[in-house]
A and B are shown apart, each in its own frame.
Chain A
Amino acid sequence: MSSSAENPTLTAEITKPSTEIATETAQSAKKITLKTSDDQIFEVEESVAMEFATVKSFFEDAPSSTDTVPLPNVPAKPFSQVIEFCKEQIKFKANPDETEKKRSNSEFVKEKTNEDLVEMIPVANYLEIKDLLDVLNQAVADRIQNRSVEYVRSFFGIDNDFTSEEEALLREEHAWAFEDVDED
C-alpha cells in the first residue's frame, strides 16, 4: 500500500481549509458507500472515508470506481464509532490545535466501554487509521494497568491457562504489584 503516490485531487480536498465554503459544500455532496461485514451500508463523506488508508488506496487503484466498497473485516457497530472519530479528526486537519485534539481524543475514549475499545482496534488496524490506533492502544494500556489479573483476563476474554499451582507461584511473584490495584 503506497501512500507516496497519492491522488493529487484527493489530497487537495482533504487539506483544503474549511473557509472555502462554496467548494466545501460541493465536496460534501460526494459520498462514498461502504458495506460492513454484517451487510450494513454506510454513506460516508469522501473526506472522512479518505481517512481510512485502506479505502483511500482502493480508490487510488480504481479512481473512477463508483461501486460500494466492501469492508469484510469491519462490523457496523465499531465502524460507526470509528467514523465518529474520523469526523472529529478532520476538523483538526483544517485547524491544527494539538491541545484541543488531545482533549477531543481523550473525550472520545472516555465515553467508550471496554468492549467498544477492544472492538474498534481491529477496525482501526484494518482500515489503517494510525492516529486512532495509537489512541486506542494507549487507552487500553491505561485501562489494564493497575488492575487485577482477573480483570485483565475478562477485559480481553482471555482464558486462564495456568494450573492453580502455577497461579499460586505467580501470585507470589507479583505480590507487590497487588498492593495498590484499583477496584475492578
Chain B
Amino acid sequence: MSFFTLITQDDPPVHSESNPVIDSRVAHDIDGPILPGLPDDVAKYCLALVPRRYLPAMGSVCKKWRSFLKSQEFITVRKLAGLLEEWLYVLTMDSEGKESHWVVLDRLGHERQLLPPMPGPTMAGFGVVVVNEKLLVMAGYSVIDGTGTASADVYEYDCCLNRLF
C-alpha cells in the first residue's frame, strides 16, 4: 500500500464552474442578512463557531450561508477566532495502484469521513498538491479495456463543502 498525506487548513474557497446550478449565483447578489435580525458581522462570527465537521450541512441551509462558507472571509473569521481545525487527508490505494480513496482524519486521529470517489474513470499515477488551501488532483492515466489513456484532468476538492469538482 502506498499513500500520500496532505494537511489542509480549513475550508478552502472554491470557484468552480462545474456545477453552475448551485455555484454560479451564490455571490453578493443575494439580498437579506445571513441570520435574520442580526448584523452580518455577528452572524458570521456565530457560524464560524460551528465545528468543521458540520460545515457541509450548514452549507445546505441557504444560498447566502453557502456563499459565506465558501469565502476567504470565512477562513479569516475562523482564523481570528482561533478555530481553524487542521485535518489530515490520506490517499490510500492497493498494490496495483487501483481502488484509491481519500480518508480524512481529524487532529485527534479520528476518522472523520471518506471523500466522495473521484469523478471519471479510475486513475493512477496522478499528482496531488495543496495550493492556497485547495486540494488539487492532476493528470495521471486510466486503463479501460486494456488500453491506457493519459489524462489532463484537474480536480479540485472543496474541503469545507465536501465536494470534488
Contacts and interface: CB of A to CB of B under 8 A. Distances in A.
- A, B assembled together: yes
A23 interface: no
A153 interface: yes
Interface stretch (A57-65, A89-97, A156-164): A156-164
A158 B36 contact: yes
B37 A138 contact: no
A146 B63 CA distance: 20
B60 A158 contact: no
A172 B22 CA distance: 13
A181 to B, nearest CB: 8
Chain A CB within 10 Å, residue with most, of B57, B64, B162: B57
B1 interface: no
Nearest to A138: B49
A161 B29 CA distance: 13
A105 interface: no
A178 B19 CA distance: 22
Contact-residue bracket for chain B? 20 to 34
A58 B53 CA distance: 43
A169 B22 contact: yes
B39 A170 contact: no
Given A158-B36, A166-B22, A174 B46 contact: no
Interface residues of A, number: 39
Interface string B34-66: 011111001001110111011011111111110
A174 B59 contact: yes
B113 interface: yes
Interface in A8-64: none
Interface of B: 19, 21-22, 30, 35-39, 42, 45-47, 49-51, 53-54, 56-65, 113-114, 116, 161-163
22 contacts: A118-B35, A119-B37, A121-B42, A122-B39, A122-B42, A141-B49, A144-B58, A149-B57, A149-B60, A149-B61, A153-B61, A157-B36, A158-B36, A160-B61, A162-B63, A169-B21, A170-B22, A170-B59, A174-B59, A174-B161, A176-B56, A176-B113
